[in-house]
Amino acid sequence: MKKKPAKSRSKKSASKRSAVRKPAKKQVKAFWLTYWQPALILFVIPLALYSVTLSFGYVLDDKIVLSENKFVQQGWEGLADIFGKESMVGFLGEQKDLIVGARYRPLSLATFAIEYGIWGASPRWSHFFNMLFYALSGLLLFRVLTQFLSVTGKKWWQGIPFWATLLFLLHPIHTEVVANIKGRDEILALLFSLATLYYSIRYIDYKKVFSLVMAALSFFVALMAKENALTFLAVIPLTLYLFKSASVKQLGLVTGPLLLTFVLYLGVRVSVIGYLLGNGQEVTGIMNNPFYGTTFGEKYATIMYTLGQYLKLLFFPHPLTHDYYPYQVPIINWLDARALVSLALYLGLAWLMIRQWKKRPIVSWSIAYYIMTLSIVSNIVFPVGAPMNERFLFMPSIGATVLLAYLILDVLPNLPTTRKWGQQLSWGLLLLFVAGFSIKSWSRIPAWKDEMSLNRAAIKVSTNSARANSYMAYSLYQAGLQTNDQVQRKQLYEEALPYVNRALEIYPTYSDAVTCKGGLVAGLYQMDGDLDRLLAEFYSLLMARHVGFLDQYMAYLNGREDRTKLTQFYHRAGFQLLAEEQQNYPLAVQYLNYGIQIAPNNIQLLQDLASVYLAMGQYNNAIQISQRGLQLQAGNASFNRVLQEASRLQAN
């Protein structure tokens, strides 16, 4: 007698689960008709929010993937090269492997090429399609979430799928991805990853082979957009196990084709790039390998600190910046409390995920989804070329918005302390997040209008980033070049100098900053004619790093300025600095020859050049220069010494 009610409850429970997990085919076909109201809201809101970007131009890395990418600018004709070469070749001209693992993300570049083939160079259309793809990703997210999180008896505006999606679409952390055209790779990767999840769930519900085929096809397209789609190989079985009670056999049937698809993608990628993860050469520039030169402990303590910053930005997205390059993210060790607090937070999340696995699977899924999708861009699995970036949170943020919606809608109203007024508190808190995210996004989006606005916004936050300071200086330099008002130009250059000096203070050998400062001091010299200041600045830049601009400008000065001052500079820079201090003999020869071009009979420069040739082992050149010097000044001890030593070494 006691077993019957239990059996009845079991059947009732099973029936209820079936109603949630396996909607009738008729309901599926009518989904968008049934949910046209939330669909309309979720489609229109991101378009309205980001409509201002239609007047924006190209900024930041847009030149790499679009405005200065020769394959993209070939339009339809460039598609073969886009799919057949590493993704930076169109900008750099060759595969230089500046970033560990190189980059193969042809899908977004292909869409840019198609746009270029139809409309030409038009940032307006590129921004429009970013908005459109973003809105579509929101609709698909809503559809996918209703597949496993909808609850019978609740209106759409009471459910987690709608509010989680709305919070996702409004989240300020996404402004970089949507407002920066380059972010399309992130959007397309998520869009087709969600499509893969959608068709995987459809297969479990209806057992149609067509769904497996579409899942595999969607997954391949997602991978061609960006590599982080790979993480859905873990997200999909996680989802099917927790919410669809999929068996091991069913999980194998779903993930098997996806694994084969991934192997196919790897084959294509390796055939294009030439290797799987690395070419065996270490990237030594900290702008592309921010942990270069750090200890093992420092590297992972710093990474843990950035992971803590990600959590903070998900729930309190302020302040925002596009630039976390060295050393905006400080290098810390495990004695730093920031690393330990972050570690404790993630250990707590892991404990909560395990603890709630059966009782509250939504909590476990949200945490696991976040960790899985973040792992590939965390710098733990492999280096990604930057210590952190807000765009890296684009895909993982779904876990945060689902968890937030669940806690506010389902958990908060049922707490013992809030049962009387829990509903009012929930709606108030939801509206607070919606309003806060909307206001922050609306205020952040205009920063992406152009380079100047973006750099001015970044430098307010990223004060310790060498790149942010250098880019701010360069924007001011470019603004100076574009004005004919000499007073205004000088003001812009003087405003830029503290920023570029700060960049060199943070990273003394930063080539972009050295070049920028060279341009600034050269521009100031053209206005005030202060050669002494110019040569002093050039000397300090050569001490930091050699860049081609300095060579070009010195060649320009030759024959135009005081010969005595220039020859003194070539002696100091070419011999004392480059040869004696830095042992950079080829560059020393180059600078000494600059001096000899304007003063062919300068004894000091000839002595310097003969000594450098001797040090280089170019004995014939050393002998020739010494003989020439002795013709000008017979009995010169320096020339005699070099001549004798070079002759002796040559004879041996």
Domains observed in the chain: 36-273 (no CATH), 296-445 (no CATH), 465-557 (1.25.40), 558-652 (1.25.40.10)
> Does the pLDDT of residue 252 top 90, yes or no?
yes
**Are 198 and 147 contacting, i.e. CB atoms less than 8 angstroms apart?**
yes
Per-residue confidence at 16, pLDDT binned at 50, 70, 90? Answer: very low
489-497: average pLDDT? 97
Instruction: Report pLDDT for 133.
Output: 98
Instruction: Give the pLDDT band (50/70/90) at residue 244.
Output: very high
pLDDT in tens, 497-535: 999 999 999 999 999 999 999 999 999 999 999 999 999
Q: Which of 273-287, 438-452, 628-642 has the highest mean pLDDT?
A: 438-452
What three-state secondary structure class fits 389? Answer: coil
From CA 412, how far away is CA 407, in angstroms rounded? 6
Q: Calculate the CA dihedral of residues 454, 456, 458, 463 and round it to 10 degrees.
A: 160
Residue 538 has pLDDT above 60, yes or no: yes
> Are 105 and 153 spatial neighbours (Cβ–Cβ below 8 Å)?
no
Q: Report whether pLDDT(573) > 90.
A: yes
Alpha-carbon distance of 261 to 487, in angstroms, equals 61
Q: Is the pLDDT of residue 8 over 50?
A: no
| Distance separating the N- and C-terminal Cα atoms of the chain | 111
- pLDDT score of 104 more than 80: yes
- DSSP designation for 572: I
**H-state helical runs in 529-636:** 531-544, 548-557, 563-570, 585-598, 603-616, 619-632
Weakest mean pLDDT among 83-97, 338-352, 606-620? 83-97
Alpha-carbon distance of 218 to 17, in angstroms, equals 28
- What the block records as the tokens of 68 is 């200065």
The whole-model pTM stands at: 0.90
Q: pLDDT averaged over the chain? A: 92
Pick from 24-38, 105-119, 574-588, 629-643: least confident: 24-38
Q: What is the mean pLDDT of residues 95-124?
A: 90
Residue 385 confidence class, pLDDT cut points 50, 70, 90: confident
pLDDT at 371 over 70: yes
In percent, how much of the chain has pLDDT > 90?
85
Res. 418 pLDDT band, cuts 50 70 90: low
Could you tell me the CA-to-CA distances from 445 to 171, 317, 437 in Å, in that order?
A: 12, 13, 12
